[in-house]
Amino acid sequence: MAYKFEQLEVWQLAMEYTDLVYDIAKQLPSSEKYNLQSQITRAATSVALNIAEGSTSQSNIEQARFLGLAVRSLIETVACQHLINRRQYLKDSEPLRNAYRASEKLFAKLQAFRHALIKNKSLPSLREEPEPYLLDDDHNPND
């Protein structure tokens, strides 16, 4: 049995991107084990996990929200790549260039998918209508 998310191109791209990020993280100095290495791998993992979790959503809007979280995590990994580059942690910058190119492609696909879901609100979204808040001064005991 295949899960819905396993068929999604964005999830497959996210898995490939995560592999690239993990390869970069392995090359970081041990002093970054609990900082940059942990941060970039957790953020990369979060991209794929949010895509997967969102695929079980009750509505297109809810799935789009999870894709938005995936985009935020992706951007976090890109910021980490900039930090790695600035600190010149890698002897060869090719892995960073490859990951950056992959992030651009994944970003574009995630945004396109997200916008398509928002545009096509075929399923109802779950939300409450806003209610005005009453202050104690607004309450009339004679009502």
Domain locations along the chain: 4-121
| Topology classification of domain 4-121 | de novo design (two linked rop proteins) (1.20.1440)
Q: What is the pLDDT of residues 40-98, one digit of tens each?
A: 999 999 999 999 999 998 889 999 999 999 999 999 999 999 999 999 999 999 999 99
Question: Cα torsion for 72, 116, 51, 129, to the nearest 10°?
Answer: 80
- Lowest-confidence pick of 7-16, 27-36, 117-126: 117-126
pTM: 0.82
Instruction: Determine how many CB atoms are found less than 10 A away from the CB of residue 57.
Output: 18
